[in-house]
Structure 1
Amino acid sequence: MSANNESTNNAEDHSNKTRIESDSMGPLEVPINALYGAQTQRAINNFTVSNLTLPEHFIRALLRIKQSAAFTNANLELIPKDIGDAISSAANKLLAMPDLMQHFPVDVFQTGSGTSTNMNANEVLSQLANQNENLSCKVNPNDHVNFGQSSNDVIPSCIHVSAAIAIHHQLLPALEHTVETIKCKANSLEGICKTGRTHLMDAMPITMEQMLSGWSAQLKQQITMLKQLQPSLFQLAIGGTAVGTGINTHPQFAQRLCDNLSQQTGILFRPNPNYFAAIGSQDIAVNVSGVLKAIAVALMKISNDLRWMNSGPLAGLGEIALPVLQPGSSIMPGKVNPVVPEASAMACAQVIGNDTAITIGGQSGNFELNVMLPMIAHNLLSSISLMSNSLLMLADKAILDFSVNRDNLNEALDRNPILVTALNPIIGYAKAAEIAKKAYKENRPVVDVAQEMTDLSRQELLELLNPLKLTAGGL
């Protein structure tokens, strides 16, 4: 609670002024213009670890949950209606603020339940609500804003809500856009044949369209996996309160809150059927992170394929040319690098690292509470953002407009001795190997060597060794 006295180290500098706030541990100085109170200030003082705060997606989900809680508690006549309305109005004001995050300064690396962030929201909402002078009583951060709740069910619920919204509005659209971009690009490359590679070594030919279809299928598989996980993500811990028993909350509170939250977001949230699992573990977050890691693995493969095909332009593969976006070197004039696939690959590496941390965090469900919730929330939302942005960047700035160097593709195909594989059923593996070795050694087209070493006519060989025909498979 606020006291009227204030202190200042410099009467001329308003930013140094403080007010006195109190909590159950006693009085504490807080910046005079801060919307938060004593508990938030204690967290700021205690957790000077990273200068990283929880993502804005998370804070917005937290405010929506608090708004729905106030609405629900007021309708259940558990708090006065004017108090519920004031809290709801305060949440709307915060959600509309362009500088929202200045009011939520608590470090990610804090108490493992996220209690400091929960109380940060409670204090900010009560402070804003109390600006209404016509209330029946003063809004209290614990007794009103946090009524029927615990950090232990609010923060896990925020993880699910914020991740569900980000996946629905960002990640899935980004995946679908990238799949469609790949599909359109593949269609534009129909009939273009290239040397396939296994172990980075020359192999049987494939078409560009076939190669890109592999990329598309990888991403489609992850879309399927995400959609399968979404119903579990829509189940919330809210209503379980401290340890999963629902102590100090109305039996209808959780369902009504979820109904209100669903109306706000357009996503069908519902109470988790088992609060003990919802509060004591983070298995769903670990599962979602696993899919994000799989997306990162797929995207890194696509990025590296692009980088390799673009390598050169003279001493590399030189099969494609990525769009020229910026100078590539501060010392080598004219050099251009595959900057977008490189940026994408780095984002993928970060997501894979985030997944490792989330996996360790998921193991930290000690008895009735997981105690790495803020880190899990931060990493999960960071991974969703990194993959959403990287997918769009790679699709629009690399895949959409790369050009194909047909001369290089055809030259490599003509000299590829591995094409002799198509003759195996006719002349046998051993004879085909002899032809391949001689073609390699003499650096000659395989069709010329095969004509010398077999009874097949040139016309038959040209038909049998036609690269585009070989991409269709079969005998």
Structure 2
Amino acid sequence: MTDLTQYRIEHDLLGEAPVPENVYYGIQTQRAVENFQISGVQLNHYVNLPRALAMVKKACALANRDLGMLDAQKAEAISDACDEIIEGRLHDQFVVDMIQGGAGTSTNMNANEVICNRALELMGHRRGEYQYLHPNTHVNMAQSTNDVYPTAMRLAMVLKHKTLLVAIKSLKNALDVKANEFKDILKMGRTQLQDAVPMTLGQEFRAFSTTIGEDVQRISEMAALLREVNLGGTAIGTGITADSRYAPLAVKYLTEISGQEMILAGDLVEATSDMGAFVIFSSALKRLAVKLSKISNDLRLLSSGPLCGFNEINLPEMQPGSSIMPGKVNPVIPEAMNQIAFHVIGNDLVVTLASEAAQLQLNYAEPVLVYKILESIQQLSSGMNMLTEKCIKGITANREVCQSYVDNSVGLVTALNPYLGYENSSRIAKIALKSGRRVVDLVLEEGLLTEEQLKEILKPENMIAPLNLSQSAH
């Protein structure tokens, strides 16, 4: 039998139920906790979720106060409770699972109840004394889950993505440092894992930097789409129960409170069901993940060996690599980055399917969509910080190994193609491959070019960038 001395009795549409006396959430949150034990990841796992919810609730309370719909004392108490959450308090009270039925209703009510009960305390009342301030009547005034939830989720992503941009820029800067450090190390480029033409290790790392740097702007552009919100549309976008002046005023307050430029959608009915911005933003995260995985693959290849692989670079040694093979060290950091990328790519499919799941005026699957986007942002941010600090910054080059591949590669013949012609170049390459002899030696032996001409053509600076061939040696 339940010990009611440690509980308060609350009621909702379904009846009465005991709620622990020491919590700020109420009966509807309690039911959600019991119903949705799914991922084990609660709303408070992502700190920007409670903050964004509180920002939205505060904006709504202030708008309703200004319009004369909400008593000033109640609005002040709600606002003060929201401020505490925005500052980082009471986050442990946001206990609903990230995956939930009801299109986010449980999340909205979790916020309503926590804010209400804290506001009641600030007004001098006890938690659960809803006759003085009610989570639905007052905290949720002129609102529906269907406009509050997507607005708060969009704001949470706008706030969260800034940590991702910091991580991208940090990784790009570390790659730039290595590009400069390796700028004079000649090596063979490869296509389809076959010898291609010479380049520098610096060029290789500069390409890594460039491709990662591109995503700073792309992700910023995609995140801007999340700033358009349907706040004020209430249930389906028609604005039922809200004052006609409420929506623009609430969004104005939300911009001021959050410090983010939030925009009221032009068509609130469309904005309530459309998930297009989430699809595009998630796709941008997937693009970044694909690039990071490709770079991680390259780092593992370039460091393979040390005796039977490429061995062109050395990754920092982070831990012993085998329980049975002494001396083995694995590229564990790029391997971890690969797996994060796979996860993010999978999350993007979830977002796609969840976005497509919209039916008529609402998308019921927003919770899993939000969960997966926030998870992707967090994992990419953590992964890039790991890759930067525990891998990229400590990479060293094996200059002699890189040079030896150039000296002995048949790929050198491509640099001679403009001077020898394709037929001669192909013939020399074939002989070199069969005999194991160097291209340079075969060219000199046949008198196709002089030693001075070869030295000029094969200068590193002449092989890694376009030349004015009309003025070059023939």
TM-score by length of 2: 0.92
| Alpha-carbon contact 2:39-2:97 (below 8 Å) kept | yes
- Residue by residue over 1:182-225, the C-alpha shift from the partner in whole angstroms, topping out at 9 and shown as x without a partner, is 22221222222111011111110111222122222212322222
Aligned to 2:472: none
The CA distance in 1 between the partners of 2:431 and 2:238, in whole Å, is: 77
| Alpha-carbon contact 1:53-1:107 (below 8 Å) kept | yes
| Alpha-carbon contact 2:36-2:100 (below 8 Å) kept | yes
SS of alignment partner, residue 197 of structure 2: strand
Pick which of 440-449 and 80-89 moved more. Answer: 440-449
The CA distance in 1 between the partners of 2:325 and 2:7, in whole Å, is: 55
Aligned to 1:85: 76
The CA distance in 1 between the partners of 2:76 and 2:328, in whole Å, is: 61
User: How do residues 36-185 of structure 1 correspond to structure 2 at under 5 angstroms?
Assistant: 36-54=25-43, 55-97=46-88, 100-134=90-124, 138-168=132-162, 170-185=163-178
| Alpha-carbon contact 2:234-2:242 (below 8 Å) kept | yes
| Alpha-carbon contact 1:419-1:467 (below 8 Å) kept | no
- Residue by residue over 1:60-95, the C-alpha shift from the partner in whole angstroms, topping out at 9 and shown as x without a partner, is 211211122122222222111111111122222334
Pick which of 432-441 and 237-246 moved more. Answer: 432-441
Amino acid at match of 1:58: L
Aligned to 1:340: 333
Aligned to 1:27: 16
| Alpha-carbon contact 1:206-1:468 (below 8 Å) kept | no
User: How do residues 287-326 of structure 1 correspond to structure 2 at under 5 angstroms?
Assistant: 287-326=280-319
Aligned to 1:355: 348
Q: Structure 1 residue 263 and structure 2 residue 253: aligned?
A: no
The CA distance in 2 between the partners of 1:384 and 1:356, in whole Å, is: 15
SS of alignment partner, residue 202 of structure 1: strand
Tell me how far 1:247 sits from its aligned partner. 1.0
Distance 1:188 1:382, change over 3 A: same
Aligned to 1:186: 179
Pick which of 124-133 and 87-96 moved more. Answer: 87-96
The size of the alignment, in residue pairs, is: 462
Q: Structure 1 residue 385 and structure 2 residue 378: aligned?
A: yes
Tell me how far 1:341 sits from its aligned partner. 1.1
The CA distance in 1 between the partners of 2:319 and 2:245, in whole Å, is: 58
Tell me how far 1:53 sits from its aligned partner. 2.2
Tell me how far 1:137 sits from its aligned partner. 6.0
Distance 1:243 1:459, change over 3 A: same
| Alpha-carbon contact 1:447-1:462 (below 8 Å) kept | no
SS of alignment partner, residue 48 of structure 1: coil
Q: Structure 1 residue 464 and structure 2 residue 457: aligned?
A: yes
- Residue by residue over 1:20-58, the C-alpha shift from the partner in whole angstroms, topping out at 9 and shown as x without a partner, is 210122101222322211111221222232222233322
SS of alignment partner, residue 391 of structure 2: helix
SS of alignment partner, residue 356 of structure 1: helix
Distance 1:112 1:380, change over 3 A: farther
Segments of structure 1 that go 5 or more residues without pairing to the other structure are 1-5, 12-16
Distance 1:20 1:134, change over 3 A: closer
The CA distance in 1 between the partners of 2:51 and 2:322, in whole Å, is: 41
| Alpha-carbon contact 1:112-1:370 (below 8 Å) kept | no
Amino acid at match of 1:282: M
| Alpha-carbon contact 2:227-2:261 (below 8 Å) kept | yes
SS of alignment partner, residue 139 of structure 1: coil
CA RMSD of aligned residues (A): 2.0
Identical-pair percentage = 38
Tell me how far 1:467 sits from its aligned partner. 4.3
SS of alignment partner, residue 187 of structure 2: strand
Tell me how far 1:101 sits from its aligned partner. 4.0
Amino acid at match of 2:228: Q
The CA distance in 1 between the partners of 2:236 and 2:282, in whole Å, is: 25
The CA distance in 1 between the partners of 2:270 and 2:321, in whole Å, is: 51
